[in-house]
Structure 1
Amino acid sequence: MAKQSIFGRISTLMKANINAILDQAEDPEKMLDQLVRDYTNNIADAEAAIAETIGNLRLLERDHAEDKQAAAEWGNKALAASRKADELRASGDTVDADKFDALAKVALQRQISAENEVKATAPQLEAQNEVVEKLKAGLNGMKVKLEQLRGKRSELLARQKTAEAQTRVVDAVKSIDVLDPTSELGRFEEKVRRVEARAAGQQELAASSLDAQFESLEDLGELTEVEARLAQLKSGGQPQGQLGQ
């Protein structure tokens, strides 16, 4: 169960899609920092579990080696006892020869027992070695993922700062649009045009008034001449026109 939990944790972390997680984050910086902490803690847990698994593997390897050595030693003892029995039997000492044969049988039984242990632990050793290699590979993958996460953190924070700067620029542009200086200039220009038009109207009015004054002067001159001729008639003289002069 412990091995399965280690595999499950590593598998989940290896399959985690950092981009998808970050896209759902309301505060990317806090989310990234939390992810870094979680990955770091998970790596530490995995390292501890893998170290324990490797320790158990080494114990199993040591027991396996001791069983092999014991099998070899008991085989040598069985062989030595069997040869001693043969020597004694050849010399006519059948009683002692039987004793050494009995010892040889005991040694052979011990050898068989050790060999059975060796055979039993061989598949366990193979499976345990495979587990350890997978755990090491998973741990290395987690460390690579952690480095990717740290790199993604720097990238995303830089993107966030850029986006914030762009937002400030957009807000500034919007505030400028609200107080559009060109529209103010347009209104001021219209005001100037009105003043110019009024001044032109005043000039035109003044010019027409001056013309009227000159016309009244001419009319006045005509009236003066009429009065002069009338006075001349009343005095009994013959009025002289301008043509007569």
Structure 2
Amino acid sequence: MSKQSIFARVSTLARANINAMLDKAEDPQKMLDQMVRDYTNSISEAETAVAQTIGNLRMVQDDYQEDIETAQSWGQKALAASQRADSFRSEGDTASADKFDNLAKVALERQMQAESSAKSAQPTIQSQQEIVDKLKTGLEQMKKKRSELVSKRDELVARAKSAQAQATVHDAIKSIDILDPSSEVNRFEEKVRREEARVRGMNELSASSLDSQFEALEDLGEKTEVEARLAALKAGGASSRPAIEDASEEELFESLETEKDQAKS
């Protein structure tokens, strides 16, 4: 994959409208996670491309340095050969002097070739260095953009979860409003009130029954006492008869009425 296609892909991701993509996604978190993975893969590919470009630059720089060193070496050899030629010439050995001069010329030619090669490599090195600098800057921007994307993903996921929680609470409240539990409470309260009223009625009924029983007992005791007194009067016979005979009927009833009034009071 070429460097242009890699950065074109990264640029497309950087310009993507995240909110629009989330609207189409059924699961925002999964969509954002996939975006982060895609961006991470793009960064990995970009790092590979940058590393390869840097490697190529280093190779050119190594060749340039080797040409410089080669040129220096041939220059030293040319100087040494020239000095030997001068030495032989001073001794009158022209043949040897010419021989070393020729060697010096060969060395100088080799030096010029190395210098020419180094000189031709300089524009390439400069161009490659500019590309590497741009790629490094772009890679740093990609990493920064990825960090922003991760932060944005975390923020949107948190907001999505919060919205989901609010929707759940809203649905719960809505269902409570529909069910209207107060009506159920009122129904149970009414049932308890009816039960309490029934118990009070039973208590009152039981109390009324006891009162009637006690009143019956009192009436029975009174009748028993009356019967006992009547029997006692009959048994008294003659002893009480003169007093009764001596009293008139009106006096007797008046006496009984008086006793009844006293008993009531």
Instruction: Indicate the residue corresponding to 2:104 in structure 1.
Output: 104
Residue 174 of structure 1 and its aligned partner are, at CA, apart by 3.5
Residues 70 and 111 in structure 2, CA contact (< 8 A), matched pair in contact too: yes
Judging changes above 3 Å, is the alpha-carbon distance between structure 1 residues 113 and 26 closer, same or farther for their aligned structure 2 residues? same
Report Cα offsets for 1:6-39 as digits up to 9, x if no partner. 4434444444454554454332111111111111
Within 5 A, what are the aligned runs for 1:81-120? Answer: 81-120=81-120
Alignment TM-score, normalising by the size of structure 2 = 0.62
Which residues of structure 1 form unaligned runs of 5+? 189-245
Which residues of structure 2 form unaligned runs of 5+? 188-265
Higher relative contact order (CA 8 A, sep 6+): 1
Instruction: Indicate the residue corresponding to 1:220 in structure 2.
Output: none
Judging changes above 3 Å, is the alpha-carbon distance between structure 1 residues 171 and 13 closer, same or farther for their aligned structure 2 residues? closer
Residue 66 of structure 1 and its aligned partner are, at CA, apart by 0.6
Report Cα offsets for 1:120-156 as digits up to 9, x if no partner. 1111111111111211121111211221122112111
Report Cα offsets for 1:68-100 as digits up to 9, x if no partner. 000111111111112221222222211111111
Instruction: Indicate the residue corresponding to 1:142 in structure 2.
Output: 142
Amino acid at match of 2:25: A
Following the alignment from structure 2 to structure 1, what is the Cα–Cα distance between the partners of residues 129 and 92? Answer: 54
Report Cα offsets for 1:200-227 as digits up to 9, x if no partner. xxxxxxxxxxxxxxxxxxxxxxxxxxxx
Which moved further from structure 2: 173-182 or 157-166? Answer: 173-182
Instruction: Give the SS at the match of 1:113.
Output: helix
Instruction: Indicate the residue corresponding to 2:65 in structure 1.
Output: 65
How many residues are matched? 185
Following the alignment from structure 1 to structure 2, what is the Cα–Cα distance between the partners of residues 76 and 83? Answer: 11
Following the alignment from structure 2 to structure 1, what is the Cα–Cα distance between the partners of residues 19 and 114? Answer: 55
Residues 6 and 42 in structure 2, CA contact (< 8 A), matched pair in contact too: no
Alignment TM-score, normalising by the size of structure 1 = 0.66
Percent identity, aligned pairs only, is 60
Within 5 A, what are the aligned runs for 1:197-208? Answer: none
Following the alignment from structure 2 to structure 1, what is the Cα–Cα distance between the partners of residues 15 and 86? Answer: 68
Following the alignment from structure 1 to structure 2, what is the Cα–Cα distance between the partners of residues 80 and 149? Answer: 66
Instruction: Indicate the residue corresponding to 1:232 in structure 2.
Output: none
Instruction: Indicate the residue corresponding to 1:162 in structure 2.
Output: 162
Following the alignment from structure 2 to structure 1, what is the Cα–Cα distance between the partners of residues 33 and 85? Answer: 77
